[in-house]
Structures are given as structure tokens and as C-alpha cells.
Amino acid sequence: MNSKTPICDFVKKYAEQNYVRLHMPAHKGRCFLGYENRDITEIDGADSLYDANGIIAESEHNASVLFGSAATLYSAEGSSLSIRAMLYLTRLKTANKGRKTVIAATRNAHKVFALTAALLDIDVLWLTDERENSSLCNCLITPKGLNETLKKLTIPPDAVFITSPDYLGNIADIKGLSEVAHKYGSLLIVDNAHGAYLKFVDGKLHPIDCGADMCCDSAHKTLPCLTGGGYLHISKTAPEYLKTHAKEALGMFGSTSPSYLILQSLDNVNGLLFDGYADKILKAAHAVTKLKQTLKNYGWTLLENDEPLKITVDANANGYDGRELANILIKSKIMPEYYDRDYIVLMFSAENGDKDISALGSALKDIQLKEKISRKFIKLNPVSVMSMQQALMSPSETVNIQNALDRILACPTVSCPPAVPILYGGEIITRESVELFEYYGITEVKVVK
């Protein structure tokens, strides 16, 4: 390794040398917001993200060493870009096979997955939660359940796509699922947007260590990285073509002006990790585990999730609508990551110190617990009548959800976060789905004309 942070080193030196900047961006390094001096473009020596053979390639190599992957490539456009690339890579698998690409995916997939599948005309076989009562964000699939589904198919899917961790912090049995997927010759792809840090805590929790062929991580969600920083990891055991085509796949969808601030931030994360930042993550994970226990001792019911740095409060079980409870926390100057009627998601990172841990502990200690509210579960049995691409490309109109009964959804309408669609394009809007849209506060949807 030449340097732990080659991109940062290069830009810092460039900024110090006071060049006359006759290149983009037009702020010319002058200070408007405060960081413009280090915001550059592909000048001499700065390498080029989608054709990397200099400092960016070196930095990405450093990241691959840290994550133990065959290749770790940067995204300056979050996991969204990596998801698009992973679907394109799956599409390549079926090139010249004379049939459409098929991916089996859990129904809690992020909307980018659905929109990209629609654009690439990939057929999706939706895998539904194996339990009766599940919420929008989670979708439990066991290796046994996946095996049951796959063995009934005449042609196995080209890939199995799962979201793990989900927004509530549940982690799937990736090892078991990858063994089943591989038995049928399918790739195992994981949306690990919420789990970059899992590589650096106890146990082998990162998908790349559990048998996934590839996964995306949003570095910005759980590591000290600017918003937009993400990874596409290809595992050492994945088919070779994934590594060969991964750059091209990212370049297919990414901006030709990726942010060098974000690239420096990704590069800087490597430096921190090489210098022992994992210890800080581990310490935070232990502190949050302790806090979870303290909250339980106060009588709070938490979702029994597996994510060490995420606390999900089951609002209803504690007598609250999640929105009401979130407002109490916000008034105490604690801002949750996400809340809906049922849950509040509180995300910690290594940057939340003891003060933040005790702030949440004290705030929740002061809130009076109430009689459990029974939750209403609305079970959907979605019926698709046209492909997601057909639905997306059809003439469409926006209608009030009350007038959408029996219409065909054109494209997913979601609130973000969590950006998990209730229905996907091409599916019929039933009475139950209208109810569920309303439950999540969605009042208008786009339907096929």
C-alpha cells in the first residue's frame, strides 16, 4: 500500500499549491460554503472514477482489503447507484440466452430496485414474508422457505435479491440463503445499505463474509462518510464476470461528474479504519447493546432486531402511535431516523458518544408507558397483470387513493424513508392495498390510464 488515503493526499496537496483553476467546478475553489477548495474534478493526476487506474483505483483497493472482497468499488451516489449496477450485472448473466432475466426478491426491496428492474425489463418473482403478521419494512425469508420456492420453478431465477439489514434492523440468514441460491445456480445479491459497519463488529455479519456474491453498502449511513458515499462489493467467491464488468456497470448509470468531496470522504474512512476506527465502532455497539437492556429494564418493548447499532422501539407495544412518540422525542431534541405508526428507528454510530446514549436513556425513562395498542395487520396478496416495465412506460395519471380501487399501479409511490413500496408497478390496487396506502399516509398514486 502506497498510502492509506491517496485521494485525500492528492487533493490536499493540490489545494495547497494555489493553481490557477481553469477547470470545473466554477466555484474555482473559492469559499462559499466552506469546503469548495477541496472540490475538484478529473484534473491531471486525479484519476477518473469509472476508468480508474491511479489514486481512485488505489483507494478502492485499500477498501477491498478492509472489506475482504475481490473488489470494492466506489459510488458517489449511494447504494442507489450500486443497486442499479448489480441489476445490470445480473442482466448480463442472461445475455444471449433468449429469455428475460428473472430475479427473486423480497417484497421489502427499496424502490430503486423496482424502478431499475422495470427499466432493464427484468421480471421479478416477489418473495413474501413467511409470517402472517409483518410490516412494510420487513420480509422474513428462511433458507427452507427459499428452497421450497425455488424447487418449484422450472428455471431458477438468475439471482435472489434480499434486503438485509432491513430498515428496522433485522438481519437475514445470508449464509443459509446463499447456500440455497447457489444450489440452484442463482446469484445471491444483498442490499446491505444499512450494514457497512457490520464488517467491523463482533461476528461475521457482513454479507461478503456470509456467502453473498455482491452487495451494496451506503457508507454514509453507518460509517463517518459524507452523504452519497457508497460501495459495491464483489465477493472473492463470486463468478469472475461480476468483477470484470462491475466498473462498467456503475459507469452505465453514474454521473460523469462524481463528487470528489464524497470520494475523499470514502478514502478518509479507509484511513480511519486502517488506524483502528473499528475499535470505536465496537465500543459504540457495546454501549448501544447496554442501552437496549437499560430501556428494557425501564419497561420499554423494543423490536428484537439483530443490528448492534440500531434501536427500534415498538411504539404500539408501549401504548403509543409511533408518530406521537417520535414527536415527544423530537421535542426533547432527539431526532429519529424514521418513524411510522408502528415503529421508531433510532440509528447510532461510532460518532454518538456517551452523552447521546444517556440523552436517549433519560428521555425514554421520562416518558410514561401506556396500555399496549393492538396493531392492525393488513395482509396483501398482490396480483400483477403487466410487467413493471409495461406499467412504467404506459400512459399514466395521478389519482387520489380513494379513486384508485381496481386500477393498475404505474410505478411505486412511497414515502422516503423507508422507500419500500406497498405495491409494485403492474399490480392491481385492491381494497386492502388502498387501506395500506392510507395507513402509511399515501394519498395519491400513479395509475395506468
Ligand X SMILES: Cc1ncc(COP(=O)(O)O)c(C=O)c1O
The DSSP call for residue 129 is: P
The C-alpha angle with vertex 25 and arms to 22 and 28, in degrees rounded to 5, equals 60
Residue 448 contacts ligand X per CB under 6 A: no
Q: Check if the beta carbon of residue 338 is closer than 8 Å to that of residue 162.
A: no
Burial class (CB in 10 A: 0-12, 13-18, 19+), 207: buried
**For ligand X, which residue of 10, 64, 78, 127 counts as binding (CB under 6 A)?**
78
Which of residues 219 and 326 has its CB atom nearest to ligand X in the complex?
Answer: 219
Least distance between ligand X and beta carbon 49 (Å): 16
Helix boundaries (H) for 298-424: 322-331, 354-366, 388-393
Q: Can you tell me the distance from the alpha carbon of 262 to that of 147, in angstroms, rounded to the nearest whole number?
A: 40
If you search the block for the grid coordinates 428484537, which residue do you land on?
A: 304
Least distance between ligand X and beta carbon 354 (Å): 28
The C-alpha angle with vertex 143 and arms to 384 and 97, in degrees rounded to 5, equals 55
Which of residues 71 and 419 has its CB atom nearest to ligand X in the complex?
Answer: 419
Least distance between ligand X and beta carbon 223 (Å): 12
Residue 79 contacts ligand X per CB under 6 A: yes
Q: Grid coordinates standing for 118?
A: 422495470
Which of residues 191 and 267 has its CB atom nearest to ligand X in the complex?
Answer: 191
Identity (one letter) of the amino acid at 213?
Answer: D
Residue 106 contacts ligand X per CB under 6 A: no
Residue 268 contacts ligand X per CB under 6 A: no
Least distance between ligand X and beta carbon 419 (Å): 6
Which of residues 229 and 426 has its CB atom nearest to ligand X in the complex?
Answer: 229
Residue 258 contacts ligand X per CB under 6 A: no
Q: Can you tell me the distance from the alpha carbon of 148 to that of 135, in angstroms, rounded to the nearest whole number?
A: 23
Least distance between ligand X and beta carbon 238 (Å): 20
Site string for ligand X, 401-430 (x = CB under 6 A): ----------------x-x-----------
Among 316, 312, 305, CA closest to 418 = 312
**Per CB under 6 A, which region of 31-39, 74-82, 154-162, 202-210 contacts ligand X?**
74-82
If you search the block for the grid coordinates 478492509, which residue do you land on?
A: 66
Q: Which of residues 175-204 bind ligand X (CB under 6 A)?
A: 191, 193-194
Which of residues 63 and 150 has its CB atom nearest to ligand X in the complex?
Answer: 63
Please state at what angle helix 354-366 crosses helix 277-297, rounded to 10 degrees.
Answer: 10
> Which residue ranges make up the site for ligand X (CB under 6 A)?
78-80, 110, 112, 163, 167, 191, 193-194, 218, 230, 417, 419
